[in-house]
Amino acid sequence: MTTNPYHDSATSFETIATERTLLVDPATGATITIGARVEHVTVDAVTGRQHREVTHLVACSADGQQLLFPYKQALFACACCGARPLMHATRCSACGRFVCDACRVLLPTGTICRDCDRKPWWLRVCQWITNL
C-alpha cells in the first residue's frame, strides 16, 4: 500500500507559479534577477482548506539598496567595474559614463572615473575639448 504524502503532514505546500524580474545586458544578453514573485498554495490536510500565499522577493542593488517594485527609479551599471544594478551613480565629467562610488575619483575640477584618472592629463584635456 502506498501512503498518500498529503496525509502524513498537517499541511502540504505547493509552489504553483514563479515569476522573475530580470535585467538583460544589451551587449552580452546576460541576465540578473532583481526580483521574483512566488505563488504558494497550502492545503490543510484535515479541513481540506486552501490557503494561497503570494511572496514578492526583492533583490539588493550592487550599492546595497533595496530595489523596490515596480522599479520606477533609473538603474545604472558601473562603466569601470561592471557593478549593477546601481541605484546611485556618478557621471564622469571627462567621458560622461556612469560609475559606482568605488570607481569615482574626486578631483578639485570635478568627478572623473577610474579609467579617465589613469589617462594622461593632456589626453583628458583633449577629450574634454572635443566634448564641448
3-state secondary structure of 8: helix
All residues at 6 or more sequence positions from 41 whose CB lies less than 8 Å from its CB, including other chains:
13, 14, 16, 50, 51, 52, 53
Residues that bind Zn ion (CB under 5 A): 78, 80-81, 83, 92, 94-95, 100, 103, 113, 116
End-to-end CA distance of the chain: 82
Minimum CB distance to Zn ion smaller for 34 or for 100: 100
Minimum CB distance to Zn ion smaller for 34 or for 79: 79
Q: Could you tell me the three cell numbers for 106?
A: 574626486
Provide, rounded to whole angstroms, the least separation between the CB of residue 108 and Zn ion: 16
Provide, rounded to whole angstroms, the least separation between the CB of residue 87 and Zn ion: 13
Provide, rounded to whole angstroms, the least separation between the CB of residue 72 and Zn ion: 23
CA distances, 27 to each of 31, 47, 78, 82, 92 (Å): 11, 53, 14, 12, 21
Minimum CB distance to Zn ion smaller for 25 or for 44: 25
Minimum CB distance to Zn ion smaller for 34 or for 124: 124
Provide, rounded to whole angstroms, the least separation between the CB of residue 58 and Zn ion: 22
Q: Could you tell me the three cell numbers for 22?
A: 530580470
